[in-house]
Amino acid sequence: MSVNRLEKLQEFLRNEPNDPFLKYALATEYLSANDTEKALSYFEDLKVNHENYVGTYYHLGRLYEKLGRKDDAIITYQKGMQVARAVRDNHALSELQTVYNSAMGLDYEDD
C-alpha cells in the first residue's frame, strides 16, 4: 500500500466525506494491504450509505468469504445482483452471479 496514496485518499475524503468512490478506493487500498478490518469498515459503510454503488458487493462478499462469513457473503452477492439489475450493470451482474454460484456450490462443470 502506498502511504502517500492512502494519505491523499484520506485527505480527499475529509473534503468530500460522502463520496462513495473515495470510500471504495480506500476500502480497496486497505484490502490490498491486508488490513481487513479497515477495508471491511469502508465496504460496510458503502453498503449502508451508498446502496447503489455496485462495485461494493463483489469485494465485500469476497472479503466476507475470506473471513469465514459465508452466509454474509451470499446475502451480499444477492443484494449486489439486485442492485446491478436495477442499474442495468450487466458486467457486475455477471461477476456477482459467478461468485454467488461458487459460494452456493453451484460452480460445477459438465462432465
Measured between alpha carbons, how far is 94 from 58 in angstroms, rounded to an integer?
11
Residue indicated by cell numbers 439489475:
85
Q: Which pTM value belongs to this model?
A: 0.89
Residue indicated by cell numbers 469502508:
42
DSSP output for 56-107: HHHHHHHHHHHTT-HHHHHHHHHHHHHHHHHTT-HHHHHHHHHHHHHHTT--
Q: Hey, what CATH topology would domain 3-103 get?
A: 1.25.40
pLDDT tens, position by position, 58-83: 999 999 999 999 999 999 999 999 99
pLDDT tens, position by position, 10-39: 999 999 999 999 999 999 999 999 999 999
Secondary structure tally for the chain: helices H, strands E: 6, 0
